[in-house]
Amino acid sequence: MSRSRVFSRAFKLAALSRMEGGENVSALSRELSVRRKLLYEWRDAFRAGGPEALRGPGRPRKGSVVVGAKSGGARGSRTSGPGDELAAARLRIAELERKVGQQALEADFFRHALRLFETSRGPSDRPGGTASTASSRPGRGGKAD
């Protein structure tokens, strides 16, 4: 039985930034030798709790935010700083830019496909030819009977 690997917070954040930047998740997981599911778990944890949610196993350092802790007590009562909000905003911007890029690619693809379709369905070069394909029914413009 193999021992589970422990990844640093910096490694996780770097993987997430590449993932949010639009890199293919399957290719990224192969390159980093990490399960795809684990990348998605890191992403969900980061979205829920920011960089602190990606901390390693074990006891948290003194004074650090405990993810999921109730804010009524002394522990976990610190609020996220402007750096965390800035990092989250940058990730969101990268995600939105990736989506805009994907939509632009899709629009170009379909525009090109429509042009190809319109040219392929144009009038035939033959005299008396039709714009569509010949019927497969006998006596309806198909091959000679």
> What are the residue ranges spanned by the domains of the chain?
9-57+82-120
Asked if residue 24 lies in contact with residue 99, where contact means CB atoms within 8 angstroms, the answer is no
Q: What is the pLDDT of residue 77?
A: 42
For the stretch 96-114, pLDDT in tens is 888 888 888 888 888 888 8
**4-61: pLDDT as tens digits:** 788 888 889 889 989 888 889 999 999 999 999 999 999 998 888 888 888 766 666 6
Which one, of 37, 13, 14, lies nearest residue 25 by Cα?
A: 37
**Greatest pairwise CA separation for the chain in angstroms:** 91
Query: Rounded to whole angstroms, what are the CA distances from 104 to 97, 101, 112, 138?
Result: 11, 5, 12, 46
Task: Quote the pLDDT of residue 37.
Answer: 94
Who has greater pLDDT, 17 or 130? 17
Q: What is the CA radius of gyration of the chain?
A: 28
Q: What is the pLDDT of residues 60-74, one digit of tens each?
A: 666 655 444 444 444
pLDDT of residue 26: 93
pTM of the model: 0.41
Asked if 92 and 84 touch (Cβ cutoff 8 Å), the reply is no
